[in-house]
Amino acid sequence: MHIPDGFLDPKMSAGMMGAAAVALAYCAARVRQAVTAVMPAAAMAGVNKVLGGGKRVLTGFGEQQIYKMGMVAALVFAAQMFNFPIESGTSGHLIGGVLAAVIVGPFAGAVVISVVLAVQMLFFADGGALALGANIVNMAVIGSLGCYYIYYWLNKALPEWLSIAVAAWCSVFFASLMCSLQIGFSGTIELGAVSSAMLKVHALIGLAEAAITVAFVYLFRALTDGPKKEDIK
Amino acid sequence: MKKVFFAVLLVAVAASFFASSHPDGLEKVAENLGFIESAQERSAPLPDYSTPGVPEGGLSTATAGIAGVMITLAVFWLAVYIMKKGNNGMNKMSVFLVALIMLTSSAAFAARPLVTDDYGTLDPGAYEFEAGYNFISPKAGGGDSQGLVCQLKRGFFPGFDLGLELPYNTSAVSGLADAVLHAKLRIKDLSEEEGVSARLDVKLTNGDAATGLGSGFTDYALLLILSKDLAGIRSHFNAGYTVIGDAANSSHDDTFVYGAAFEKEICSGIETAIEYTGSCCLQRGLLNNVQVAGRWQATRSLRLDAGYSIAMSDVSSSIATAGLTLEF
C-alpha cells in the first residue's frame, strides 16, 4: 500500500507531510520520555555547571527498549517483503502496524513503522518521497497508533489473539480507506471507484495481515522474555 | 534478542524466495482503474528489493532484504548512540543524514560547475536557477578575487531556452559586472541525451567600465555544442568563437574557445566530471584549464556542486567554485 509519487497532488502531499510530522513529533516525544530519565541530583553535581540542570539521559531500560524497537522494525521490514498471493494476479503484504504496536506500544510502534517506511523509500524506491507523509499517516499513524487502541479496548473483553487479529484487519482496512481518500481527493481518479476497489481487495489482504500479526506477536514473545509491564504505553 | 535477529534474517530470506511477483493491492487497483501511469519511477540503491549486479531472482532479493534489515537496525543503534553522546552524536548524525541523502537521490544531467555546456535545453516553462561562488587566483600571481555568479534560465519553446547570467564581484572592487545573455537552440537530437546545439552569448555593458567591472563594449559569442555518450561516459564538446567588442584593447582580441567535458555517475545521485577548457587568442596566447568537479543531486530539484579548475597555462587562473542548481 506504499503510495508512489504522482498519485497525490502537491497540496495533499504537503498536508499529509505536515500531519505526519506533527503526529510523529508527538510519538517521538512520548518515546523519548519513556526511555530517558532526569539525571539524579547527586550524579549531576559535577556536570550541572557544564550541561545545565534537568538534562534527560537514556536509562538502561530505555536502551533495551530502543534495541527492541529496532528488532521489531527489522522484523516488520523483513515480513513486508513477503508478498502473499491473493485473488487473481494480485498480492498483498504485511503492514505490521498492529504487530509493532502490540510489542513495543502505540507510540514506539508508530515510530518503528515510520522508520521502516523511510528506509523503504530511501533505499528501495518503495513509496514516493513526496508521498512519504501520506504513507506515514496511513500505515504508522492510523495502522499502528490508531489501531492499537482497537486492540487495547477489545482486549478487555476478548481473548488477546482475537483482539490482535481484529485490530490487524482494521489497520489494513482503515489504512486502505485513508489511502483511497487521499488519492480520490487528489483528483487522480474518481473517489467512489478507487475506494470500492481498494476496500474490496484490502478486506482480503486484512485477513492475511491478521493471521501473520497474531503468529509474529507470539513468535516474538516466545523468542524474547514475553511482554513487560513497563512497555511504552 | 539474538534469537529474534536470526528469526528476522530467516524471514527476510524466506520472503525473498517465496514472495509473489504479482502487483500489490494498490498497484493492482491503479492498473485496473488506469492511473498506474501517473506513478513516478524513482531511483534508489536497491531498487524494487533487488541488488544491482546480482542476477534477478531470490538471491538478489535476499541480499537486498538482509541489507534492508541491517539498515533498519542501524537507525535504532544510531539513535542509542546519539542519545548517549549528546550533542557530539548529533553532529555525527547530520554527517550520516547527509551521507544517506547522497546515497539515495536520483541523478541529473550536465550543468554547473562545468564551463563546458551540454546540448540539452529546458522544457518550455521550466526554470533553472544556478548560483555559485568562485575563488579566482591567477597563476602568474597578482590579485586574487572572489565573486558570486547567478544565472536564471527559462525554457521558452521545445528546444530553445534563454538564460541571464549575472556576475557579482565581491573582491576589492565590488559590484555587478557585465551580464551575459545566453540563447541556446537544439539543432539535432541524436538520442535522449545526445545531440547538437548552438548557443549565442551576448555580453552586455551594464558593468562600470571605470572600475574594471565592465568592459564597456558588447561582446558576442557563438558556440557549437555536441553531447555524446562514449562507452557510458557522457561527453560534451564545445567549440566557438568570441567577437570582442573592444577592438582597441590589445590584450583582448577575438578568441577561439573550446572545451571537452566527461561526466560519469559513480553512484546513485553523485556524479564526477573532468573537463578541459581553453581559449586561444593571438595577443594573450593559449589559456588552458583542467577542472575536476563533483555534483550531488540533493533533492529532486536541488543539486549541489563543487569544482576545482587548475590553471595549465601561465596566463590563466585557478578557480575553486561551489554552488547550487535549482529547478522549478
In Å, how far is B72's CA from the nearest CA of chain A? 6
pLDDT of residue B110: 42
Q: Does A233 have pLDDT greater than 60?
A: no
Q: Which three-class secondary structure state does DSSP give residue B134?
A: strand
Q: Which three-class secondary structure state does DSSP give residue A134?
A: helix
A130 alpha carbon, distance to own chain's centre: 18
Q: Does B109 have pLDDT greater than 50?
A: no
Other C-beta atoms closer than 10 Å to the C-beta of B10 total 11
pLDDT of residue B228: 85
**Is residue B229 within 8 Å of residue B194, measured between CB atoms?**
yes
For the stretch B240-271, pLDDT in tens is 888 877 666 655 667 788 888 888 887 777 88
Q: What are phi and psi of A135, to 5 degrees?
A: -65, -35
Would the ipTM clear 0.85, i.e. be above it?
A: yes
pLDDT of residue B125: 81
Mutate to test the interface with B, among A77, A80, A115 (most CBs of B within 10 A): A77
Q: Considering chain A, what is the average pLDDT of its residues? A: 88
In Å, how far is A112's CA from the nearest CA of chain B? 9
Residue whose cell numbers read 555568479: B149
Which pLDDT band holds residue B105 (cuts at 50, 70, 90)? very low
| Residue B26, all three cell numbers | 494498490
H/E element holding B243?
strand B233-243
For the stretch A7-55, pLDDT in tens is 988 889 889 999 999 999 999 999 988 888 886 655 555 544 444 445 6
Question: Is pLDDT larger for residue B150 or for residue B57?
Answer: B150
pTM: 0.60
Mutate to test the interface with A, among B2, B6, B9, B11 (most CBs of A within 10 A): B11
| Residue from B250, B295, B289, B247 nearest B271 by CA | B295
Residue A169 contacts B, CB cutoff 8 Å: no
Residue A44 contacts B, CB cutoff 8 Å: no
Residue whose cell numbers read 536502551: A63
